[in-house]
């Protein structure tokens, strides 16, 4: 009996020990497929990712096992019918390629994962996730393109704005169906409804592509929106980017100003319904659909919408609507070469609702509504009046000093929404469907009654990119700056990375995109966003290999070809995606395009591996756009082009190694050495200065700000040379000295433009001048980031002088955007230097925390970033007598913890001496930091001098 009790006790203790060990193990969470949770995808070998959590420090994954099956019930080892990876050794938790049975269209795949921890103990299984395959072959699309040509009804002396088509079809479903999927797209933009209810919550679908080459589609599970018996399918179309106005084409009197891809928006939709016995019914767009036009009498992305509620078709998208007078849909031919694929990016959605902050009456009878934030989106209005009353809404980012709406910077974008009331006694609520504006203020006219704070509500629209970054300090100015950066990103990451959301432009400018890419990745999860846009950029590559000024690339102006400083986006954006997310697939898919571009550069240099003065005089503007919107003498655009050539070669070498292409790695290392040597031989002087033959540019005619003259001795030149690693250690130190000297000569103020602002503060930090970087960062004087904040900005300006007290809105007549993220690239330094969150290996599997403590102006900073592995936090508080750091390192990563302290400073970590912390190893002192190596966990560091 005693033996049994002892055995029982032993078993209980063993079980308790095992469960404790399991509890301290690792748990997979946040399962994603192709960067998304439970998505539709048409990637034939989708990549799987997860995060790990643990209550135990220094935890990491030793192995994993993935199960994929056709049903949740089959997610059992030995029974998973699609894939059982078995125990797979390694610490990878992201970008795991599915390598199970070949997947087919429409297939639903359920999956889960478990991980073995550092003690080789298996953890618990994750919750079940899933993905669903779309239509993998274009031949599976049986639907036709349908629409209604209303182009002849466009009116107006300036804008040709036809009404928007309505399309409908009633279908009959048998009882007992179990599954229904809608596959839908448009040339143009669409909204689809079933039985009067919108399908999905996206806007401006299917997004902007080069429609001549490809169109994306959406897939929806609509099982719950259908019912047995009659059902009504409905869709509204608009002209969108396909057939509407684009960019500044109208402003510059381009030969084409609208309908760059086609004049008639068309719909393609395929509804597939499945019954329990396996029977299927498919309903397709075709000539049996009915079409008409009605209340949406004008609809354009740039110019806004006009909606006449008196022309509504009540119940038009519901069953039993009488459409006998509606004509049959017109069928339009397909383009055989046009690819069709599921939309790979994050959906465009309403991401936030903004209530009105104030309503101010104007002398002309109108009112100005302040929504408190400059953003991109639309408004919802609640109004009451008589039939025929006309409400006009205009939008602006700023007000003139006398309270008038400032709209001069919209140029030829009408950006006006009009609602004509039907006279409902209960009042009327309306919001546009197929347009967006960039604004903080709304002018509303035509109301019969005094508006209040509920009359106008702002609806922020943008790509739904999850927030991954957090940044706060004890400075209200810096906190507002970070808010401004994030809001400007949200306003311009709308399907593509636009330059601005308000005026007649809104193009995917390539310089803006690559300058800001790393900042964007700190702020938000833009992994799938760049997956989508890189397709657009590669589709837009010129035949000679140059990447364009913007992508997609409609023919807005004959001289819009390429420019140094812009075209390198085709290399920089995949590189940054690789570095921040560990994504090598984007490298492989972009590789042919990137190699073509590198050959273009080599050919363009005539084999000299340097671009000497006037090398780009054949493009417009001469030399390209250069350091756009800088002050003072211009940095030689050819010098910058040469720097970027070397930088691209370095990035190509790194990316080649990442995809195990050793031949290419060696090749681009060689190219880099040649370009650096040739560039320094031509532009670098013995005293470490950069110079150029200024006389080669003549009087500067044809160059951007060419009348100011050219030089190589600029803040922008040295900042880029340091940032790009073009110089020796000695040369870098000299460049840092010249950079600081130039700043002092300019009264401690920056003079950089688009190409110089991003590397400026990182270059100062890299050369031991963090104090000067903070001086610029905290400045409130013109020009500076703080100057914008102190002048009431809620977003990032295009120009340092978009507004000054002396000149007001000086550049209204040309270009003056108050929502332009390029100068927001300082965010990269905020996270990477001020907070010190840096990756040592792509995707943050190994990272560094090395904060730069402000010498004055800030005493507290708290930043975090959610990597693919989980949350990284870096916080510091600089008390009078000690420094406190709070650090979080996610599971399955290792970190260098760099503590700003001299060799005699007293350091405690989690209340203990560093040597008493398990898993933490001191590696020595470097550049004023004590360096420790550690694994996952939370660490409180106290430093006492």
- Whole-Å CA distances, 148 to 210, 267, 332: 22, 10, 10
Q: How far is CA 184 from the centre of its chain?
A: 24
CA angle 87, 89, 93 (to 5 degrees): 95
Range 767-771, long-range pairs (CB < 8 A, 24+ positions): 767/722, 767/732, 767/733, 767/735, 767/736, 767/737, 767/739, 767/740, 768/736, 768/927, 769/736, 769/739, 769/740, 770/833, 770/852, 771/855
Q: How far apart are CA 397 and CA 375, in angstroms?
A: 9
Contact between 623 and 638 (Cβ < 8 Å): yes
> Pairing between strand 469-473 and 390-396?
unpaired
Q: How far apart are CA 254 and CA 240, in angstroms?
A: 19
Instruction: Look up residue 57 and give its two tokens.
Output: 């420090």
**Which run of H or of E encompasses 939?**
strand 937-944
- Whole-Å CA distances, 330 to 143, 261, 267, 321, 440: 13, 18, 10, 20, 41
Cα dihedral 379, 200, 870, 496 in deg (nearest 10): -60
Based on the number of CB atoms within 10 Å of its own CB, is 290 exposed (0-12), middle (13-18) or buried (19 or more)?
Answer: buried
Q: Nearest to residue 764, comparing CAs of 726, 735, 788? A: 735
CA dihedral sign of residues 598, 599, 600, 604: positive
365 Rama sector, left if φ>0, alpha if ψ -120 to 50, beta otherwise: left
Coil vs helix vs strand at 726: coil
Greatest C-alpha distance within the chain: 105
Is residue 505 among the annotated active site residues? yes
Contact between 180 and 271 (Cβ < 8 Å): yes
Q: Nearest to residue 442, comparing CAs of 351, 350, 349, 356? A: 356
How many residues comprise the chain?
945
Q: How far apart are CA 236 and CA 130, in angstroms?
A: 31
Q: Nearest to residue 526, comparing CAs of 553, 547, 572, 495? A: 495
CA angle 45, 49, 50 (to 5 degrees): 155
N-to-C CA span, the chain: 65
The structure tokens 């409130």 sit at 780
Q: How far apart are CA 637 and CA 626, in angstroms?
A: 5
Cα dihedral 327, 328, 333, 338 in deg (nearest 10): 100
- Whole-Å CA distances, 705 to 20, 617, 717, 806: 69, 15, 17, 22
Count CB-CB contacts under 10 A for residue 405. Answer: 19
Annotated catalytic residue within 144, 202, 397, 798: 798
Q: Nearest to residue 461, comparing CAs of 120, 202, 264? A: 202
Q: How far apart are CA 453 and CA 380, in angstroms?
A: 12
- B/e letters for 697-718, b = 16+ CB within 10 Å, e = fewer, are beebeebbbbeeebbbbbbbbb
Contact between 763 and 722 (Cβ < 8 Å): yes
Interhelix angle 569-581/637-658, nearest 10 degrees: 40
530 Rama sector, left if φ>0, alpha if ψ -120 to 50, beta otherwise: alpha
Q: How far apart are CA 94 and CA 356, in angstroms?
A: 42
**Which run of H or of E encompasses 551?**
none
Annotated catalytic residue within 144, 305, 443, 505: 505
Catalytic residues: 505, 798
């Amino acid at each position: 009996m005693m033996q049994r009790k002892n055995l029982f006790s032993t078993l209980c203790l063993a079980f308790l020990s095992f469960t404790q060990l399991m509890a301290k193990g690792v748990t997979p969470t946040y399962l994603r497929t192709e960067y998304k949770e439970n998505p539709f995808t048409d990637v034939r070998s989708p990549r799987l990712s997860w995060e790990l959590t643990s209550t135990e420090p220094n935890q990491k994954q030793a192995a994993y096992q993935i199960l994929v099956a056709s049903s949740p019930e089959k997610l059992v080892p030995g029974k998973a019918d699609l894939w059982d990876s078995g125990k797979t050794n390694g610490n990878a938790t992201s970008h795991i390629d599915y390598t199970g049975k070949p997947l087919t269209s429409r297939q639903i795949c359920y999956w889960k994962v478990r991980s073995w921890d550092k003690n080789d103990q298996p953890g618990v299984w994750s919750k079940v996730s899933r993905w669903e395959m779309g239509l993998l072959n274009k031949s599976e699309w049986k639907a036709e393109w349908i629409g209604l040509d209303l182009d002849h009804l466009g009116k107006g002396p300036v804008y040709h704005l036809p009404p928007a088509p309505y399309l409908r079809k009633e279908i009959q479903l048998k009882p007992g169906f179990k599954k229904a999927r809608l596959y839908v797209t448009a040339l143009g933009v669409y909204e689809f409804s079933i039985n009067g209810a919108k399908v999905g919550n996206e806007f401006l679908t299917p997004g902007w592509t080069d429609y001549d080459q490809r169109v994306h589609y959406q897939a929806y599970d609509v099982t719950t929106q259908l019912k047995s018996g009659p059902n009504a399918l409905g869709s509204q179309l608009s002209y969108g980017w396909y057939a509407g106005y684009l960019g500044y084409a109208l402003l510059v009197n381009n030969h084409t100003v609208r309908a760059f891809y086609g004049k008639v928006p068309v719909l393609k939709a395929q509804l597939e319904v499945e019954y329990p016995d396996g029977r299927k019914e498919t309903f397709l767009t075709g000539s049996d659909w009915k079409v008409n036009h009605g209340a949406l009498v004008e609809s354009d992305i740039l110019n806004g919408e006009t909606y006449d509620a008196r022309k509504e078709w009540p119940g038009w998208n519901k069953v039993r609507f009488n459409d006998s007078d509606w004509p049959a849909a017109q069928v339009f031919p397909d383009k055989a070469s046009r690819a069709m694929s599921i939309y790979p990016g994050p959906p465009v959605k309403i991401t936030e609702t903004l209530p009105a902050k104030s309503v101010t009456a104007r002398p002309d009878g109108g009112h100005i509504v302040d929504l408190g934030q400059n953003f991109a989106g639309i408004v919802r209005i609640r109004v009451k009046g008589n039939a025929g009353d006309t409400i006009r809404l205009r939008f602006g980012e700023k007000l003139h000093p006398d309270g008038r709406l400032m709209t001069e910077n919209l140029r030829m974008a009408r950006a006006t929404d009009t609602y004509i009331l039907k006279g409902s006694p209960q009042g009327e609520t309306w919001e546009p469907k197929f347009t967006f504006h960039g604004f903080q203020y709304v002018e509303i006219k035509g109301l019969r009654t005094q508006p209040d704070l509920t009359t106008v509500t702002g609806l922020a629209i943008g790509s739904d990119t999850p927030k991954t970054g957090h940044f706060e300090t004890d400075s209200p100015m810096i906190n507002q700056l970070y808010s401004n950066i994030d809001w400007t990103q949200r306003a311009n990451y709308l399907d593509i990375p636009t330059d601005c959301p308000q005026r007649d432009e809104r193009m995917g400018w390539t310089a803006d995109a690559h300058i800001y890419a790393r900042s964007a990745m700190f702020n938000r999860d833009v992994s799938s966003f760049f997956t989508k846009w890189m397709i657009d950029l590669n589709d837009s590559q010129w035949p000679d290999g140059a990447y364009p000024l913007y992508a997609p690339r409609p023919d807005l102006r004959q001289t819009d070809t390429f420019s140094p400083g812009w075209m390198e986006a085709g290399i920089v954006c995949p590189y940054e995606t690789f570095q921040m997310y560990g994504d090598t697939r984007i490298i492989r898919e972009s590789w042919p395009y990137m190699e073509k571009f590198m050959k273009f550069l080599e050919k363009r240099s005539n084999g000299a591996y340097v671009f000497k003065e006037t090398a780009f005089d054949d493009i417009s503007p001469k030399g390209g756009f250069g350091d756009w919107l800088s002050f003072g003498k211009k940095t030689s655009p050819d010098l910058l082009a040469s720097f970027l050539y070397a930088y691209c070669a370095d990035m190509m070498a790194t990316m080649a190694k990442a995809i195990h292409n050793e031949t290419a790695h060696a090749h681009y290392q060689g190219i880099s050495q040649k370009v650096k040597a040739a560039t320094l031989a031509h532009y670098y002087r013995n005293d470490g200065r950069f110079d150029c033959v200024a006389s080669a540019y003549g009087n500067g005619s044809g160059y951007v700000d060419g009348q100011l003259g050219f030089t190589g001795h600029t803040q922008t030149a040295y900042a880029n040379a340091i940032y790009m690693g073009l110089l020796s250690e000695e040369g870098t130190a000299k460049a840092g000295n010249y950079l600081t000297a130039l700043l002092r000569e300019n009264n401690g103020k920056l003079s950089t433009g688009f190409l110089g602002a991003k590397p400026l503060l990182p270059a100062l930090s890299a050369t031991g001048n963090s104090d000067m970087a903070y001086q610029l960062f905290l400045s409130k004087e013109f020009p500076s980031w703080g100057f914008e904040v102190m002048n009431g900005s809620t977003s990032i300006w295009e120009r340092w002088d978009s507004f000054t007290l002396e000149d007001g809105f000086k550049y209204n007549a040309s270009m003056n955007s108050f929502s332009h993220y390029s100068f927001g690239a300082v965010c990269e330094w905020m996270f990477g230097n001020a907070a010190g969150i840096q990756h040592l290996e792509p995707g943050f599997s190994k990272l560094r925390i090395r904060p730069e403590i402000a010498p004055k102006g800030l005493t507290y900073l708290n930043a975090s970033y959610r990597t693919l592995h989980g949350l990284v936090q870096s916080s510091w508080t600089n008390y009078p007598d000690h420094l406190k750091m709070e650090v979080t390192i996610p599971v399955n990563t290792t970190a260098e913890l760099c503590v700003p302290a001299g060799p005699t400073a007293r350091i405690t970590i989690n209340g203990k001496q560093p040597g008493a912390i398990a898993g933490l190893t001191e590696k020595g002192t470097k550049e004023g930091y004590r360096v420790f190596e550690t694994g996952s966990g939370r660490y409180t560091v106290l430093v006492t001098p």
